[in-house]
Amino acid sequence: MARHRNANWDLTNPVNSWEEVHAALLMDIRDELQAIRGILSCPNVQKAALAAQDAAKATKRIDKRLSKRIKL
């Protein structure tokens, strides 16, 4: 079976069957998910996510301290 990556399907053409279209679509989705998985498993991405969590916690602490000092 041919790969047909990112193909524009002409379903009026009897050569293309729905099974080919479905299989090609699922293979494209699989490729994209594997690419995303590869990016998310990168140590730099994981460190960035942890740094963002730490920054969010620090911001909450600062907000609490400021809200105690400034009474509206």
What are the structural domain ranges in the chain? 18-69
Which tokens is 43 given?
């140590």
Dist. CA 15–CA 38, nearest whole Å: 35
Secondary structure of residue 24 in the 3-state scheme: helix
Is the pTM higher than 0.85? The answer reads no
CA distance linking residue 53 with residue 55, whole number of Å: 5
Residue 47's SS3 state is helix
pLDDT in tens, 14-57: 666 777 778 888 888 998 999 999 999 999 988 998 999 999 99
pLDDT confidence band for 67 (50 / 70 / 90): confident
Element (H, E) at 66: helix 43-69
